[in-house]
């Protein structure tokens, strides 16, 4: 029996009646210019359909299959496309502003010149997709896979790329002002001539990246890996580079007046770039990662001086012994419960709850981010701990001076919520 394909007029009439069209078969349908605003098409089969110029504003397309569909110049503003399959779809010039494409598959899709301002693409698959000249202003691409993605000339000011995978991606001449690339993987990415003023690259992997002529004025590059990156003519004035991994030879290629080497990135330790060109900022360090979902109990762990340790898992009843130059990062998914930490430099984005007082013994630095939470007694070393708390962090902390007895009254008690 010959398969009957619904016409655009029939579909428009059913959408106008607000019919629920879940899992409807529209594969290969010619729906060019159709008026389908608000359509209920979850899990619909639209593979190879022609939707050029169609109005799907606010439509529900969660889980729909749109593989190789033609959606050029279509209107999908505010549409819901969670887990939709848009593999190799044609979306050139499409309006996807404020659309929800979380966990959608856009591998190999053409999004050249698409409007994605305010859209959510968290955990989306965008490998080998074309986002050239696209508008990604304030879009959320956190944890997205964007390997070999083309973003040349894209406008992505204030966009969120945190923890995204952008290995070998091309961001040439892109507008990335105040964008967030914290923890992102940009290994071998091309950022030639990008405008990144004020962007966040904290703990990002930029190894072997091409940053020639990029504007990195005021960027946060603390703990970033720049090993082997090209910095010819890169503007670094005001960049925060505490614990960044790069060499004197690399910095000699860059330009700018001074960079900020303070741990908190507060401008308290500015160094002329010309001076940094005669010394190493930080050599690549030994790294240890405890991934999300793992649980480690009753362990006694010791890390060599100068190591970098990231915990995104749950540690319970553990003791961690850190060298003075060892940095421990409790990630946003990390939780240390009933643990004790000796020494080191601590950065808490997740949660730390001590086992018995003091839970923090002799740390040289303690930084708690706006989403971090710490409940502990901290015994300072002889040279005193250096503190940095972001507004909104949750603290319940007693601070003991060097030599003070544990049973004694603490010298300070940190407030439960830090002020801005």
- Concatenated DSSP letters for 202-245? TT-B-TT-B-TT-B-TT-B-TT-B-TT-B-TT-B-TT-B-TT-B
* Cα–Cα nearest to 334, from 310, 309, 298: 310
DSSP for 49-72? -B-TT-B-TT-B-TT-B-TT-B-T
Neighbours of 1 (CB within 10 A): 3
Q: Please give the Cα distance from 230 to 249 (Å, whole number).
A: 10
Q: Please give the Cα distance from 209 to 192 (Å, whole number).
A: 9
Does residue 350 have a cis bond before it (omega within 30 degrees)? Answer: no
For the chain, how many residues are written? 420
- The token pair at 188 is 């071998």
Pairing of strands 300-303, 335-342: unpaired
* Cα–Cα nearest to 151, from 190, 121, 179: 190
DSSP summary character for residue 160: B
Main-chain dihedrals φ then ψ at residue 56, nearest 5 degrees: -115, 30
pTM > 0.75: yes or no: no
Buried b (16+ CB within 10 A) or exposed e, 4-17: eebebeebbebbee
Q: How far is CA 39 from the centre of its chain?
A: 33
Tell me the average confidence (pLDDT) per consecutive run of 10 residues in the chain, 420 residues long.
80 96 96 97 97 98 98 98 98 98 98 98 97 98 96 98 96 98 95 97 94 97 92 96 85 91 86 64 62 85 84 92 87 91 92 89 90 92 88 90 55 46
Does residue 342 have a cis bond before it (omega within 30 degrees)? Answer: no
Neighbours of 280 (CB within 10 A): 13
DSSP summary character for residue 269: S
Residue in the block written with tokens 């160094």: 271
């Amino acid at each position: 029996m010959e398969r009957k394909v619904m016409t655009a007029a029939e579909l428009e009439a059913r959408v106008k009646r607000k019919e629920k069209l879940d899992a409807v078969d529209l594969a290969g349908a010619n729906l060019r210019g159709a008026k389908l605003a608000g359509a209920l098409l979850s899990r619909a089969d639209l593979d190879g359909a022609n939707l050029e110029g169609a109005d799907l504003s606010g439509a529900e397309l969660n889980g729909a299959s749109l593989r190789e569909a033609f959606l050029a110049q279509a209107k999908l503003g505010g549409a819901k496309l969670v887990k939709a399959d848009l593999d190799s779809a044609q979306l050139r010039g499409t309006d996807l502003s404020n659309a929800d494409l979380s966990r959608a598959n856009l591998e190999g899709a053409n999004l050249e010149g698409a409007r994605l301002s305010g859209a959510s693409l968290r955990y989306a698959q965008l490998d080998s997709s074309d986002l050239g000249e696209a508008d990604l202003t304030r879009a959320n691409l956190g944890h997205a896979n964007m390997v070999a993605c083309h973003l040349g000339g894209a406008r992505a000011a204030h966009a969120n790329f945190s923890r995204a995978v952008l290995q070998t991606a091309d961001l040439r001449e892109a507008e990335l002002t105040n964008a967030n690339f914290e923890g992102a993987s940009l290994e071998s990415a091309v950022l030639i001539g990008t405008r990144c003023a004020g962007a966040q690259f904290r703990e990002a992997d930029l190894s072997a990246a091409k940053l020639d002529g990029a504007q990195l004025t005021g960027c946060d590059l603390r703990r970033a890996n720049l090993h082997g990156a090209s910095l010819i003519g890169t503007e670094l004035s005001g960049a925060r580079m505490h614990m960044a991994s790069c060499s004197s030879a690399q910095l000699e290629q860059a330009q700018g007046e001074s960079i900020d080497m303070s741990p908190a990135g507060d401008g308290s330790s500015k160094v002329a770039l010309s001076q940094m060109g005669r010394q190493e900022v930080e050599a690549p360090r030994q790294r240890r990662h405890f991934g999300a979902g793992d649980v480690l109990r009753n362990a006694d762990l010791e890390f060599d001086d100068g190591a970098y340790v990231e915990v995104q898992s749950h540690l319970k009843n553990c003791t961690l012994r850190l060298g003075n130059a060892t940095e421990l990062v409790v990630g946003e998914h990390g939780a240390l419960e009933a643990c004790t930490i000796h020494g080191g430099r601590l950065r808490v984005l997740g949660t730390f709850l001590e086992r018995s007082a003091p839970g923090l013994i002799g740390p040289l630095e303690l930084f708690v981010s706006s989403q971090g939470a710490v409940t502990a007694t901290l015994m300072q070393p002889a040279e005193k701990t250096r503190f940095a708390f972001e507004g909104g962090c949750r603290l319940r902390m007693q601070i003991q001076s060097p030599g003070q007895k544990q049973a004694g009254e603490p010298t300070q008690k940190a407030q439960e919520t830090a002020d801005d």
